Amino acid sequence: MSIPVILDCDPGHDDALAIMLAVADPAIDLRAVTTVAGNVTLENTTTNALRVLDMVGRPDIPVAAGADRPRARALSTAASMHGEGGLAGPLPVEPSRGPSSLTAVELIGQVLTEASEPVTLVVTGPQTNAAAAIEALPHLRHRIARIVFMGGAVNLGNWTPAAEFNIWVDPEAADVVLRSGLDLTMIGLEVTHQAWLTDKHADAVRGKGDCGLFVAELLDHFVGFHQERFGWEGAPIHDAVTIAHLIDPTLVTTVFANVEIELGSELCVGRTVVDRWRVTERTPNCHVGLGIDRDRFVTLLMDRLVTLT
């Protein structure tokens, strides 16, 4: 029995690897990909999602474009990390098709309606589309099995000292998701900063067909960026951890805790305030990732990626 999944993303190197893992692993039934502005503009994240699905031979998976900006703020991108187009490294290639005529929220509604069982929504970009879907589709909320998102941190941020990028870009959207009452799992930086790949992994897949070369060239850029910018040996493959967590729930350890989003403070906006030690009376609302078995994650990811040709 595979898990039906909608992947809402902003590719982005690690989003691309999340899509590839979702396609490669038989435990995941990727029903749709929806795109959001985040790492780069919506036009680019949508083109990149289409391109990655072409690369893995799945142009049958529908792709719909969603929000081109956060709910209440101007769009701020991470082009400095992912390149202006969002997938710096491999040479850009035009996708074989355009996106669906449906919006992201419409496609999410269609997939939820047509599925014979509840569907898992995985969010690896700003939560603008997820919040819009929660608000627009209240009659379908029982069709959402759970939401697993990459974003936030118990401790430090990565885009500001206090906030992680996905939450910081659209904190008002994250606030809607965290208050939704849905079954939520947060894969934050405590987890994903342990989930890194290095040059060695790029070289291990470089000779393995078109997909292997594509992954290697993505890693060349992404690992190189993290080496130069932070002095790290490798690059965290943040977004792929959401899919790995679905495939093998024993990889990531979690604690059920209250998580609220800071919206007001200039210094701390976008911070996921996690009541890790239950020092408040606030009701737990989210399974919060605390750590990952890095070796097993890397083995899983690499084993699956090399099956794509």
How does strand 196-197 pair with strand 119-123? unpaired
- Asked if residues 220 and 214 have their Cβ atoms less than 8 Å apart, the reply is no
* Span 27-56, contacts to ligand BDR by CB under 6 A: 39
Taking the complex as a whole, how short is the minimal distance between the CB of residue 264 and Ca ion, in angstroms? 25
CA distances from 292 to 99, 125, 194, 215, 251 (A): 35, 20, 7, 22, 5
Taking the complex as a whole, how short is the minimal distance between the CB of residue 166 and Ca ion, in angstroms? 6
Rounded to an integer, what distance in angstroms lies between the CA atom of residue 107 and that of residue 33?
Answer: 9
Residue 164 binding partner per list Ca ion, ligand BDR, none, with a CB distance cut-off of 5 to 8 Å that depends on partner kind: ligand BDR
78 binds ligand BDR per the rule CB under 6 A: yes
Which of 14, 175, 190, 275 lies at the binding interface for ligand BDR (CB under 6 A)? 14
From residue 120 to residue 139, the character string flagging contacts with Ca ion as x (rule: CB under 5 A) and all else as - is: ----xx--------------
Burial label for 136, CB within 10 Å (0-12, 13-18, 19+), is: middle
Which of 3, 4, 12, 298 lies at the binding interface for Ca ion (CB under 5 A)? 12
The span of 3-11, 81-89, 98-106, 191-199 binding Ca ion (CB under 5 A) equals: 3-11
From residue 225 to residue 264, the character string flagging contacts with ligand BDR as x (rule: CB under 6 A) and all else as - is: -------------xx-------------------------
238 is catalytic: yes
* DSSP one-letter string for 224-268: HHHHHHH--SSEE-TTHHHHHHHH-TTSEEEEEE-EEE--S-TTT
State the distance between the two ends of the chain, measured CA to CA, in whole angstroms: 24
15 binds ligand BDR per the rule CB under 6 A: yes
Question: What sign for the dihedral angle of Cα 285, 173, 169, 301?
Answer: positive
* Span 152-171, contacts to ligand BDR by CB under 6 A: 158, 164-166
Residues that are catalytic? 238
